[in-house]
């Protein structure tokens, strides 16, 4: 059986500095591929989210915590969609979302959380999410949030 190394799934370490990174168009032309960033520390979830997005023709990168997501944006990366897990080591979802919004990131940021209480959801939404879904993400949920992305642009 093929074994999947975690390194295969994490794009950030080999990301070049500058513009040839995933380009998210500020005004959507229908030719441009939709780009997504998956911010998730669980390897199984990384693989599932990546598969879900790839199946829909979306160019996807994966990082394993909020800090890596922030660093990627500092180096100039832009994405149409960011799937943000809540609980992660080093920098969690709410914190990373706050930092990204403070940096001026306007991408659609969707929280993907395990079932959590109303208070945690509120805190996460208030950090600057556009929406959240309960884990695990399914094709139906993804199609629905992508439809909103397309409609709003």
Partner 1 sequence: MDVGQLQRRFLDYTASLFREGFLDDQFNQLQQLQDESNPDFVVEIVSLFFQDSEKLLNNLTRALDQQSVDYKRVDAHVHQLKGSSSSIGAYRVKNVCIAFRSYCEEQNIQGCLRCLHQVKHEYSLVKNKLETLLRLEQQILAAGGSIPLMV
Helix (H), strand (E) at residue 82: strand 81-85
Q: Give residue 109's Cα distance to chain centre.
A: 7
Comparing CB distances to partner 1, the nearer of 23 and 41 is 41
Single out the residue of 16, 17, 32, 44 in contact with partner 1 (rule: CB under 8 A): 44
| Residue span 85-124 as binding mask against partner 1, x where in contact by CB under 8 A, dash where not | --x-x------------------------x----------
Contacting partner 1 within 4-43 (CB under 8 A):
4, 41-43
Single out the residue of 55, 144, 147, 153 in contact with partner 1 (rule: CB under 8 A): 55
Interior/surface letters 10-34, b for 16+ CB within 10 angstroms, e for the rest: bbbeebeeeeebbbbeeeeeeeeeb
Write out the two tokens for 47.
């693989």
- Positions touching partner 1 (CB under 8 A) are 1-4, 41-45, 47-48, 51-52, 55, 87, 89, 114, 135-136, 138-139
């Amino acid at each position: 059986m093929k074994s999947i190394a975690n390194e295969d799934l994490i794009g950030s370490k080999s990301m070049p500095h500058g513009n040839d990174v995933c380009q998210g168009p500020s005004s959507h032309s229908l030719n441009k591929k939709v780009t997504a960033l998956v911010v998730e520390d669980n390897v199984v979830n990384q693989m599932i989210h990546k598969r879900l997005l790839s199946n829909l023709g979306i160019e996807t990168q994966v990082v394993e915590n909020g800090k890596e997501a922030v660093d990627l944006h500092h180096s100039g990366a832009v994405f149409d969609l960011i799937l943000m897990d809540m609980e992660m080591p080093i920098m969690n979802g709410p914190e990373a979302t706050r930092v990204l919004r403070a940096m001026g990131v306007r991408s659609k940021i969707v929280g993907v959380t395990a079932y959590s209480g109303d208070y945690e959801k509120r805190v996460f939404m208030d950090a600057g999410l556009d929406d959240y879904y309960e884990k695990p993400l399914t094709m139906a949920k993804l199609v629905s949030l992508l439809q909103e992305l397309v409609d709003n642009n």
